[in-house]
């Protein structure tokens, strides 16, 4: 294990990560918790809120997504939300205790005509004293620089799964396309939020490959969301997996994935994201013990249900967890690296 002053490793091998997954569960949890405490304050969890600012009609064919135009769901395509409505939602999230406000648009890539409104949203969220995050699809260098100039703190662009499994999930853009956008975001000076989804019928080798792809980036993502698939009827994966045992990844295996992320990317915020609403309280407790220190709170994610503020407050009370207070100095940390 590295100490807090050492530079995080970016030379992890798949064999090393596979060995982490294979550890006795108690040993893995001990290592993950020790790593977490060396780099983060124990028993504090960052609260984030996610809002869909442009829902439905995406031309991509992501097999898990109800917002794909190719999915047979009842979701209707909507226009980009009004800036004032977005900022009103951000103010509500701040009042409820969220530190970061994440805005997602169902686009393959934003159009330049959308940038002025996006810039207003970023500036408005930051004026509320919140961290700002956006996920808008692929970006050009000019677009990334425009978002950076507006003060965007984080850009989310997930790799979703291992390079080998990627083509089984998405065919309309490549794994390299994902990495190219991450490079543009990093070059513009925006913090990277990048993770993926487990429980899509992938193998453990794919979960190892997913963690390996992130942990061997020259700069680890400052934020790593780990999602558990929510099988949605009308999506490729939802129809394929909804009635099979593969629809839900085993909670212990999910926690192993969280622990592997914490150990290999010790400075990153590791977020429990989609799928948390169906996890048991015990499963979530284990994930926090494994080093997860960020969640989406509220009753809704982009288009699916979330655990909700009241359940989160009750669970935090049981576990002795507290919301992370104050600005996380991620931008300064990224610059120092």
- 48 classed as catalytic: no
* CA atoms of 115 and 130, how far apart (whole Å): 20
Neighbouring CB atoms inside 10 A of 290's CB total 28
Instruction: Give the active site residue among 100, 256, 271, 276.
Output: 271
Catalytic residue among 48, 193, 194, 256: 193
Half-sphere exposure of 132 (CA within 13 A, CB side): 24
Do 75 and 55 contact (CB within 8 A), yes or no? yes
Q: Which of 62, 100, 178, 256 is catalytic?
A: 62
Q: Catalytic: which of 48, 102, 207, 276?
A: 102
Active site residue 194: no
Exposed, middle or buried: residue 24 (CB in 10 Å: 0-12, 13-18, 19+)? exposed
Catalytic annotation present for 271: yes
Retrieve residue 161's tokens.
């799964």
Q: Answer whether 251's CB lies under 8 Å from 279's CB.
A: yes
Q: Determine which one of 48, 58, 186, 207 is catalytic.
A: 58
> What's the CA gap between 80 and 116, in Å, rounded?
12
Active-site residue identified among 133, 173, 178, 267: 133
DSSP state of 323: E
**Active-site residue identified among 9, 37, 48, 65:** 65
DSSP class of 154: E
Q: How many whole angstroms separate alpha carbon 230 and alpha carbon 228?
A: 6
Distances (CA, A) of 72 to 60, 139, 238: 13, 27, 11
Residue among 67, 74, 64 at smallest CA distance from 249? 64
Q: Which residues are catalytic?
A: 58, 62, 65, 102, 133, 193, 271
């Amino acid at each position: 294990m590295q100490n807090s002053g050492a530079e995080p490793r970016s030379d992890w091998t798949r064999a090393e990560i596979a060995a982490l997954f294979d550890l006795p569960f108690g040993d893995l949890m001990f290592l993950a918790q020790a790593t977490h405490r060396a780099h983060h304050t124990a028993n504090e969890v960052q609260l984030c809120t996610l809002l869909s600012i442009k829902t439905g009609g995406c031309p991509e064919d992501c097999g898990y997504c109800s917002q794909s135009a190719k999915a047979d769901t009842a979701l209707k395509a909507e226009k980009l939300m009004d800036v004032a409505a977005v900022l009103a939602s951000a103010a509500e999230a701040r009042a409820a205790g969220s530190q970061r406000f994440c805005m997602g648009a169902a686009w393959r890539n934003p159009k330049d005509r959308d940038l002025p409104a996006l810039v207003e949203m970023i500036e408005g969220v930051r004026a509320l004293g919140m961290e700002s995050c956006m996920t808008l699809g692929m970006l050009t260098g000019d677009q990334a620089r425009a978002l950076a100039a507006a003060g965007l703190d984080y850009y989310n662009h997930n790799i979703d799964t291992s390079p080998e499994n990627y083509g089984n999930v998405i065919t309309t853009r490549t794994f390299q396309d994902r990495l190219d956008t991450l490079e543009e975001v990093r070059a513009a000076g925006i913090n990277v939020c990048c993770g993926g989804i487990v429980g899509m019928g992938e193998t453990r080798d794919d979960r190892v490959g997913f963690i390996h792809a992130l942990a061997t980036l020259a700069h680890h993502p400052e934020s790593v969301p780990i999602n558990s698939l929510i099988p949605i009827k009308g999506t490729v994966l939802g129809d394929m997996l909804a009635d099979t045992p593969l629809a839900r990844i085993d909670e212990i295996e999910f926690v192993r994935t969280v622990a592997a992320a914490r150990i290999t990317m010790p400075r990153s915020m590791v977020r429990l994201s989609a799928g948390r609403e169906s996890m048991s309280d015990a499963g979530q407790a284990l994930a926090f013990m494994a080093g997860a220190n960020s969640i989406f709170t509220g009753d809704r994610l982009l288009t699916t249900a979330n655990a909700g503020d009241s359940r989160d407050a009750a669970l935090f009370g049981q576990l002795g967890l507290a919301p992370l207070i104050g600005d996380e100095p991620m931008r300064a940390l990224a610059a120092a690296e």
